[in-house]
Each structure stands twice: as C-alpha cells, then as structure tokens.
C-alpha cells in the first residue's frame, strides 16, 4: 500500500489504483491458488508500470507473482494451463491494445475449453488490462475493445465505475470459475470513491441500479457512468429524474435489471466509451426494443465515441471521445426538452 493511499483511506476514500491493488492483495491472502503473471509486475521491476501490483511479489513471493517476458501469448497460455490444473491465475496485459496479440489463446482456448471439453475442464483466469482515451496515448494505447470479447461465448467482461466496485468486481472475477476480462480505465485511475469493505466480493452477472429515477434510464458501464451521475444531479435541479443502470458485468449482461428500469421509465440512453458502431450499446438497445417496443415513449439513443482511430492531438482526441454534454443532450432529446 502506498503512503498516499493509506492516508486517503483514513478519510474513508481510496483511488481506483488502490482498489485494484487491494483486491489483488486480499485475493492472494485469501487463497493460495491465486497467482499472478505479467510484464514488469514484480517489485524488482517496480511492481508494474501503473504500480497496481507493487508489494505483492515481496509479500507473497516471486513464485506466485512472476514478471514475464513481453510475450502475451505465453502469458495468457500459461494462465490457461495453470487454471486447468486448479490455480486461479491473474494475468496482466499491460494495455488493452496488446490483447490483440493473445487473441487466439483467449478466444479459441480460454473461452471455449469448458464447452468443448463437455465441462471436464474450465478456465478460471482473470485478465486485467488497462485502457481508455483522453490521455494522449494515441491509436494503439487507448482502445476500448470490450465488444470483441462480449461477442465470444464463455468470456465474462467486467468494467467498474467506482473504486469500491473495482475492488469487489476484481475479487468477483478472480473467484469466478470462468475466464474474465477486467478492464481498468487509465484516465480515472487517480479518482477516488468510498473504500470497500475488505473481502466483500461482488458477484458477476448482476447490474447495479446506481441511482433511482423515474423519467429516463441511462444504461452503461465504466467511465461514462461517472459522467451520468453529474448529469443526473444537474437535471434533478430542473425536475428531471434520471435512473442510472451500471451493468458492472458487460457480458453476460443482466438484461432483466435493464428491462425493469426501462419498463419503468419508458426512455433510455445507452452510453459507452468505445466507438458507437457495432459496440455493446447496439446490443443493449436491441434487447430493450425487442422486449419493450410498445412501452417505449421515445427511441432509445446511444452516446459513444466516434468511429475513427483514437487520434493523438488533444483537439482531435476530444472530438473522438463521447462527451458528457452528449449524454445530457440525449437525455433531453428522449424527453423532448
């Protein structure tokens, strides 16, 4: 634990980074089968480029927390193999764009071995990765690729929107019996939120109604949920009551909670950071209209980023990214105000 995080905790709040760190620490303490591997993650290499794994190899030993070569196929393959033999490996893929390298291991093996073996084997691995546009990291270090994995049966995809959720959901991934992709946002990593209760696992597959409202539902996950709270607060002053449904687990999606909310409000705005076309938002919208066509008071709208490569220039990157103002405008549009 860093000194800064320790002092923050005194005020009852922690950062996302501290939440990730603490979840990994507590999981390793709770279960000796939890092991970790990834580039630079051991303390000798600084405890990870984002310091999430700092202290873990010193405390739990280099045999359980292993720095690997820059070999993403070897990293995910080793995680898969160890999980087949009863371990719960947590593999770090430093940045999400690097996950394109071990796609075969993830899609053809991690996701499918349970099914193809007729349930004789399963792959309880967690793949932690980090990404997100807005930090000037350009076209190969910023992409949100969650839709690729949500499209593959057998995978679970998790994106937290608060530090406490990050802690509970990461534990949820580690102790889940299926392969989980856990996405950490690089832009909000220093933002704070209430500290979680030690050891409290958030089970996967359940959405969270993060704010209760009556006029319109904002449905999404990750960073835009944080924007949605600010907008909901602002609109409340105008008498607009916004409900926020945070999926937490993007896939498999908790359709029931989404539909319950939209059936109540009759209006929905679906938000995510990834580009709009063929994104997870399209799936959410489809499920809403398939079930609630006659009950909708307005078309379901999407707010997402532009269908282009993430640009470097701050001016262009801002134009690429979805904007909080777009969410507000979409909410107003569904209400005709």
Partner 1 sequence: MTNSSGASRDGRPAGAGGASATAGSRSSAAFTPQALLEVWRKARLINLVDEKFRTLLRSGRLAAVYYSPRGQEIVAAAMGVHLQPTDYLVTTYRGIHDQLAKGIPLKPLFAEYYAKATGACKGKGGPMHITHPQTGVMVTTGIVGSGLPIANGLAWASQLKKDGRVTLVTFGDGASNIGAFHEALNLASLWKLPVVFLCQNNLYGESSKYEKCTAVDHIGERAASYRMPGVTVDGNDAEAMWRASAEAVERARAGEGPTLIEAKTFRFMGHYFGDPGAYIPKEEYDAHLAKDPMPRTRAAVLASGIATEAELAQYDAEVNAQIEEALQFAADSPFPDVGEIDIDVYGATA
Q: What positions carry a catalytic annotation? A: 141
Least Cβ distance, residue 197 to partner 1 (angstroms): 21
Q: Which of 221, 107, 89 is nearest to 154 (CA)?
A: 107
| Closer by beta carbon to partner 1, 10 or else 63 | 63
Is residue 84 part of the contact set for partner 1 (CB under 8 A)?
yes
The pairing of beta strand 192-194 with beta strand 180-185: unpaired
- Measured CA to CA, the distance from residue 183 to residue 128 in angstroms comes to 6
Stretch 261-290: interaction string toward partner 1, x if CB under 8 A: ------------------------------
* Distance in angstroms (rounded) separating the CA atoms of residues 315 and 232: 27
Residue 199 zone, left/alpha/beta (φ > 0; ψ -120 to 50; rest): left
Given 3, 10, 86, 237, the residue binding partner 1 (CB under 8 A): 86
Rounded distance, CA 34 to CA 175, Å?
A: 9
Of the candidates 58, 117, 277, 313, which one interacts with partner 1 according to CB under 8 A? 117
Instruction: Name the residue nearer to partner 1 (CB basis): 48 or 77.
Output: 77
Q: Which is nearer to partner 1, 155 or 271 (CB)?
A: 155
Site for partner 1 in 119-148 (CB under 8 A): 119-122
Q: Compute the least distance from the CB of residue 37 to partner 1, in Å.
A: 8
Cα–Cα dist 48/12, whole Å: 25
**Whole-number Cα distances in Å, 144 to 165, 221, 321:** 19, 12, 11
If DSSP codes are grouped into helix, strand and coil, which group holds residue 162?
A: coil
Short-list 171, 39, 54, 161, CA closest to 95:
39
Peptide bond into 2 cis (omega under 30): no
Site for partner 1 contains 78 (CB under 8 A): yes
CA distance 250 to 236: 27
> Between residue 145 and residue 164, which ones bind partner 1 under the rule CB under 8 A?
153-154, 156
Q: How far is the CB of 71 from partner 1 (least distance, A)?
A: 4
User: In the bound complex, what is the minimum distance in angstroms from residue 87's beta carbon to partner 1?
Assistant: 5
113 vs 300 by CB, closer to partner 1:
113
Is residue 1 helix, strand or coil? coil
92 binds partner 1 (CB under 8 A): no
* Contact pattern from residue 196 through residue 235 relative to partner 1, giving x for each residue in contact according to CB under 8 A and a dash for the rest: -------xxx------------------------------
Q: Can you count the helices (H) and strands (E) in the chain?
A: 13, 14
Cβ atoms of 194 and 12 closer than 8 Å? yes
Q: Please tell me whether residue 76 binds partner 1 under the rule CB under 8 A.
A: yes
Q: What is the dihedral of CA 142, 144, 149, 151, to 10 degrees?
A: -140
Q: Does 103 bind partner 1 (CB under 8 A)?
A: no
DSSP string, 101-123: TTHIIIIIIITTHHHHTTTS---
- Residue 204 or 330: the one with the smaller Cβ distance to partner 1 is 204
CB nearer to partner 1: pick between 77 and 311: 77
Of 119 and 336, nearer to partner 1 (C-beta) is: 119
Binding mask 55-74 for partner 1 (x = CB under 8 A): --------xx-x-xx-xxxx
- Residues 34-53 touching partner 1, rule: CB under 8 A, are 35
Q: Which stretch binds partner 1 (CB under 8 A): 2-10, 171-179, 209-217, 255-263?
A: 171-179
**Which residues make up the interface to partner 1 (CB under 8 A)?**
35, 63-64, 66, 68-69, 71-74, 76-87, 89, 104-105, 108-109, 113-122, 153-154, 156, 176-178, 203-205, 252
């Amino acid at each position: 634990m860093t000194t800064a995080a320790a002092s923050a905790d005194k005020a009852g709040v922690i950062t996302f980074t501290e939440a990730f760190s603490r979840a990994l620490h507590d999981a390793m303490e709770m279960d000796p089968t939890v092991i970790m591997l990834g580039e630079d993650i051991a303390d000798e290499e600084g405890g990870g480029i984002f310091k999430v794994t700092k202290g873990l190899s010193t405390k739990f030993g280099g045999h359980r927390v292993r720095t690997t070569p820059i070999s993403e196929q070897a990293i995910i393959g080793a995680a898969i193999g160890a999980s087949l033999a009863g371990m719960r490996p947590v593999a770090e893929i430093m940045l999400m764009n690097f996950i394109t390298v071990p796609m075969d291991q993830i899609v053809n093996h991690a996701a499918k071995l349970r099914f193809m073996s007729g349930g004789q084997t399963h792959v309880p691995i967690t793949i932690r990765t980090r990404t997100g546009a807005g930090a000037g990291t350009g076209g190969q270090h910023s992409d949100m690729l969650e839709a690729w994995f949500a499209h593959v049966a057998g995978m679970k995809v998790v994106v937290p929107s608060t530090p406490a959720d990050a802690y509970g959901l990461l534990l949820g991934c580690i102790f889940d019996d299926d392969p989980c992709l856990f996405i950490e946002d690089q832009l909000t990593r220093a933002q704070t939120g209430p500290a979680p209760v030690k050891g409290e696992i958030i089970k996967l597959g359940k959405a969270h109604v993060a704010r209760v409202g009556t006029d319109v539902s904002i449905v999404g996950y990750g960073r835009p949920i944080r924007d949605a709270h600010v907008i909901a607060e602002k609109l409340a002053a105008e008498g607009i009551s916004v409900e926020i449904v945070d999926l937490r687990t993007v896939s498999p999606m908790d359709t029931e909670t989404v539909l319950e909310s939209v059936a109540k409000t009759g209006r929905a705005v679906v938000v995510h950071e990834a580009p709009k076309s063929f994104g997870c938002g399209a799936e959410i919208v489809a499920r809403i209209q398939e079930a609630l066509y006659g009950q909708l008071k307005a078309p379901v709208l999407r707010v997402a980023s532009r269908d282009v490569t993430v640009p470097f220039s701050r001016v262009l990157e801002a134009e690429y990214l979805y904007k909080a103002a777009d969410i507000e405008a979409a909410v107003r549009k569904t209400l005709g105000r």
